[in-house]
Amino acid sequence: MAPSPRQIGVHALTDICYPMYQTITQDSPLISVIMPAYNAAAYIGGAIASVLAQTYPHWQLIVIDDGSTDHTAEVVKHLAASDSRITYQYQQNARQAHARNNGIAHAKGSLLALLDADDTWKPEKLQVQLQELQQENADLVFGPYDVLDEAGLVVKTVVRSRKMFEGNEGLLAFLEGNMIMTSSVLMRKASFEAAGGFAADKSPVEDLHLWLKMLLKGMKLLRTDKPLSGYRRHATQSSAADLHLSRQALAVIHELQFEGAVAHALRTKIYPGWYTKLLWVNKGCNAATLDGLLQACKADCGNGHWLKAALLLNNLGATGAAHALAATFLQRQWKQG
């Protein structure tokens, strides 16, 4: 006998108020929803429920189980049995980038929507974003979002203004930091493929890497001002284990090729900002780690910011090995000067 939703934790399904569906026409594009999942049994029922509740009905949901050892498979298969638009696939654990690429390889839609297994959407999410994507001729649409606690209650809403990111201005904005919450994304599959997809070896910053590649290819990324997604914070999520992604992000930026005004801004403004944050966050680390950061700072930013970075460590709270290292660097700089 198949387990009931209550037995496998699909609590959210009992509370769905199914919407009045928009009529599907021959012009309605199929949206492939890609959901990687790893030990997500506690939350994936709610995530799938939010897809089932969409006012835009022409979608397929591809769940890629990334080697889960809990009841994720049972939850998904139970729901897939009652809706043919949901499919389940299993892979050996390889992390999110590989799981998303795997799902997209099986996508039949011309559009891709990303949804993590612990996040949710508001019912109008796909319908509103599809209209925005088509009207603005964008390659990708994203937007603000609600921050949820473990129980799914809204803690706060991240509000952002409407803006199109493209060209050098768009690159400069994204080089300062990743501003896209992945579960808020709707994009054209052709644009995703033209940019080369998610690079599995860039985890956990494969998303930033993709957005930068898209911008480098002249694509348009539209940020709307409507919070249509919910980002859940909890102790077991993969991003919670990667709170400080600055080093990985810098490595990605180093690998990409930037020219002209963007390259100049990287050296004079953007890299100094990254290293100031990195050195401050890591000021309690051992001397070897700080030595490496300061040397990298000098290579990327030049002597001027390298000196400021050492002063930052020396004067703004660094202690022990960090303080001694900063003092040594400063003395060396002054002797050379």
CATH number at residue 214: 3.90.550.10
Whether 79 is in a domain gets the answer yes
pLDDT at 315: 53
For β-strands 140-142 and 186-188, DSSP reports them as antiparallel
pLDDT at 2: 39
pLDDT at 5: 41
Do 18 and 117 belong to one domain? yes
Span 115-137, average pLDDT: 98
Q: Is residue 272 very low, low, confident or very high in pLDDT (cuts 50, 70, 90)?
A: confident
Do 234 and 273 belong to one domain? no
Do 98 and 157 belong to one domain? yes
69 Cβ neighbours under 8 A, 6+ residues apart: 39
How far is Cα 202 from Cα 211, in angstroms, rounded to an integer? 13
How far is Cα 131 from Cα 124, in angstroms, rounded to an integer? 11
Of all residues in the chain, the percent with pLDDT exceeding 70 is 78
Of all residues in the chain, the percent with pLDDT exceeding 90 is 64
Q: Is residue 106 very low, low, confident or very high in pLDDT (cuts 50, 70, 90)?
A: very high
pLDDT at 63: 98
For the stretch 194-198, contacts whose Cβ atoms lie closer than 8 Å and that sit 24 or more positions apart, written own/partner, are 194/219, 195/219, 197/101, 197/104, 198/97, 198/98, 198/100, 198/101
* Coil vs helix vs strand at 144: coil
User: Poorest-confidence range of 85-94, 196-205, 311-320?
Assistant: 311-320
Do 64 and 207 belong to one domain? yes
How far is Cα 91 from Cα 64, in angstroms, rounded to an integer? 7
Whether 248 is in a domain gets the answer no
Do 39 and 120 belong to one domain? yes
Span 157-183, average pLDDT: 96
Given a cut of 80, whether residue 70 has pLDDT beyond it is yes
Whether 325 is in a domain gets the answer yes
Q: Last residue of a domain, which of 241, 275, 298? A: 241
pLDDT at 15: 44
Question: Is there a contact between 91 and 98 (Cβ–Cβ < 8 Å)?
Answer: yes
pLDDT at 88: 98
Number of domains in the chain: 2
> Is the pLDDT higher at 286 or at 181?
181
Residue 159 sits in which domain range? Answer: 11-241
Do 286 and 137 belong to one domain? no
Burial of 324 (0-12, 13-18, 19+ CB in 10 A): middle
Q: Last residue of a domain, which of 241, 268, 303? A: 241
Nearest to 44 by CA among 81, 15, 79: 79
19 DSSP assignment: -
The whole-chain average pLDDT of the chain stands at 85
Do 190 and 269 belong to one domain? no
Whether 72 is in a domain gets the answer yes
Do 201 and 115 belong to one domain? yes
Do 229 and 269 belong to one domain? no
Span 123-127, average pLDDT: 98
Do 213 and 269 belong to one domain? no
Q: Last residue of a domain, which of 241, 270, 302? A: 241
> Is the pLDDT higher at 285 or at 269?
269
In DSSP terms, which residues pair with 95 in a beta bridge?
A: none
What tokens appear for 336 in the block? 């050379």
Whether 78 is in a domain gets the answer yes
Q: Is residue 6 very low, low, confident or very high in pLDDT (cuts 50, 70, 90)?
A: very low
pTM of the model: 0.86
Angle between helices 206-216 and 246-255 (to 10 degrees): 30
How far is Cα 329 from Cα 260, in angstroms, rounded to an integer? 32
Do 98 and 200 belong to one domain? yes
Residue indicated by tokens 């080697």 = 67
Residue 225 neighbours by CB distance under 10 Å: 11
pLDDT at 275: 81
Per residue in 285-331, pLDDT (tens digit) is: 666 777 777 778 878 887 666 666 666 655 545 455 555 555 555 55
pLDDT at 131: 97
Provide the terminal-to-terminal Cα distance of the chain, rounded to the nearest Å: 79
316 Cβ neighbours under 8 A, 6+ residues apart: 280
Question: Is there a contact between 64 and 100 (Cβ–Cβ < 8 Å)?
Answer: yes
Whether 198 is in a domain gets the answer yes
pLDDT at 240: 39
Given a cut of 60, whether residue 16 has pLDDT beyond it is no
Whether 247 is in a domain gets the answer no
Burial of 232 (0-12, 13-18, 19+ CB in 10 A): buried
What tokens appear for 15 in the block? 């509370």
Given a cut of 90, whether residue 265 has pLDDT beyond it is yes
Whether 252 is in a domain gets the answer no
Question: Is there a contact between 252 and 209 (Cβ–Cβ < 8 Å)?
Answer: yes
pLDDT at 327: 56
User: 82: number of CA atoms within 13 Å, CB side?
Assistant: 11
Nearest to 121 by CA among 46, 209, 221, 27: 46
Do 103 and 158 belong to one domain? yes
